[in-house]
Every structure is written in C-alpha cells, then in structure tokens.
Amino acid sequence: MKYETYAPHPELEAFVKFYWTLEVPFDPQNKKQKIIPDGCIEMTFNFEDGIKRYISEEDFVVHPRAMVMGQRTKSYFIEPLGNVNSFAVCFYPYGFTNFVNTPLKDLVDAELPISQLFDEKEAKDLEEGMINADSTDDRIQIINTFLLSKLRNQSTIENIVQSTVDALIATGGSTSIGEMPQDESSKRRQLERKFKDQIGLSPKQLGKVIRLQAALNLMLNKSEKFTGIAYESEYFDQSHFIKDFKEFTGITPKEFIGSENMSLAKLFYK
C-alpha cells in the first residue's frame, strides 16, 4: 500500500486539512479493512476498480467513483474489487460546509455522489477531469480550482461553532459542551443545532471521535501501555478508554493492534 498526503492551495488551508492518495495493487489474499471515524468529511475519487462497503456481514454497496463521505458515528468495513488508485480531499470538521448548501447532518454515515451536492454538469466535468488527469500534480490543480470557485463567504461558519471545534482539536477532544455556564442552556441548545447543520455531529460526538484519534496516534506511534494512553488522552481510566474504543471500532485496543483488518487504518496514523 502506498499512501501520500499533499498540501492544498494556501487559500484553502483553513478548510482543507490535506489531500491524500492511496494505491493498493489487487491481491486475492487482502483482508477487508475497517475504517474508523476521524471527525472529517472527505471527497474521494476512485480511478480504477470499485470499492465495496459492507452494510452487514455479507451484504455490501459499491462506492460511487466520485463521492463525498459524511461524518461517521461508527466504523465500517471496505474491500476493493480490484486495484485501488484513489485521490481524496480531507476537510476539517468545519471545512466542507463552506462549499455546499446542504445541512451536513444529512450526510452522516453516508456517501453521496458529488452530483447530488454540486451542479450536475460541474460535478461531471470535475469527475472526468480528475479521472483523465496525467498526474497527481494535475489533479491537485484541478481540485484547487474547483474548490476555490465554490468557496462561500467565510462567515458561513458561526464563530461559536469554529471556536468549539478549535477547542476540541486543541485539547484532544476533552473540552465539553457541558463546561459552558449552566445559565447559558439556550446557547448550548443553539450550539447543538448549529453544530449538526455545519459539522454533522454534535459537539459531544465530535469530541469523542477526536479523543479516539489522539489515542490511536499514541497507540501506533509510542510504545506506551494502555493505561498511560488512557490517561494521556484524558479518559477517566483504562476501562473508559476501552469502552469508547469498542464503541467506535467494535474491538478492544489489544485486538486492534493485532488485526489484519486494521492494516489500512494503521497506515493512515503512522
């Protein structure tokens, strides 16, 4: 597997975390891979064979070739039908809403063809341009041009939403909406509504995902025991860490480390 990341255009850096490419030659022995929520929305283009997402142990759907993947509240399995050659845009939690009019709560746990979120002709031209491009550099230029043309006024994001997301990211997901003064319950309800429209998740859900990401990075990049990882990621204790980990991944941290189904997830965090 070959995974690379690239910087977006400077005028997009506030909204786009990075672009990434993934190449995986087909191998009949490859195991299906589990994808873990990361708090980001992604626009993905598949240039070769399809990728299926399992909706049950045996049943699956095939991803659209050009799609937007909304926020995730649970993990899921994917498996390539052949060679994988993908390009994706990874948006910050508050990034994607600056390019579309669709409330992002409508995208949660779903993947939609880009033609359902943008003008149909523009979406078709973008997809064909990305597929027919000769290089990654060309694709970066194409997607930069498209996103800059669709960028809405930055005031689209409410200050209260962006400041809350920034606080969650800065604290590894430990900042809680419950820390707002009790006499501001109306503001908390307002924040919840705005969050779901502009992020897709509630502040609590996003915080749990961000904290899981921090723990995964420690697991894969530091040789620490799970107790130390739990406390460093600001879980109450090891059992709380394991409970949240299983909620999003379906397995324990120990099982994650030894699982062949997690090879792709480990690659993303290394």
pLDDT tens-digit profile of 142-180?
Answer: 999 999 999 865 555 667 787 888 888 888 887 655 554
pLDDT at 79 over 60: yes
CA nearest neighbour of 113 among 68, 47, 52: 68
The per-residue pLDDT for 121 is 95
Please give the DSSP secondary-structure letter assigned to residue 238: H
Do residue 115 and residue 196 come from a single domain? no
Q: Describe the chain by its helix, strand, coil percentages, rounded to 5.
A: 50, 20, 35
Question: What is the distance between the alpha carbons of residues 126 and 221, in angstroms, rounded to a whole number?
Answer: 37
Q: Which tokens belong to 209?
A: 């995902």
Tokens of 222: 């530091």
Considering only CA atoms, which of 264, 217, 220 is closest in space to residue 35?
264
Q: For residue 78, what are the domain limits?
A: 2-154
pTM of the full predicted structure?
0.83
Residues 28, 126, single domain; the answer is yes
Q: Which of 58-62, 170-174, 214-218 has the lowest mean pLDDT?
A: 170-174
Q: Are residues 103 and 229 in the same domain?
A: no
- Say whether both 178 and 247 belong to one domain: yes
Residues 150 and 164 in one domain: no
Which residue reads 């399809």 in tokens? 50
Domain limit, last residue, from 101, 123, 154:
154
**CA 270 vs CA 8, 76, 150, 260, 264: distances in Å:** 21, 20, 32, 15, 10
Q: How many domains does the chain have?
A: 2
Query: Binning pLDDT at 50, 70 and 90, where does residue 182 land?
Result: very low
| DSSP-derived secondary structure letter, 259 | -
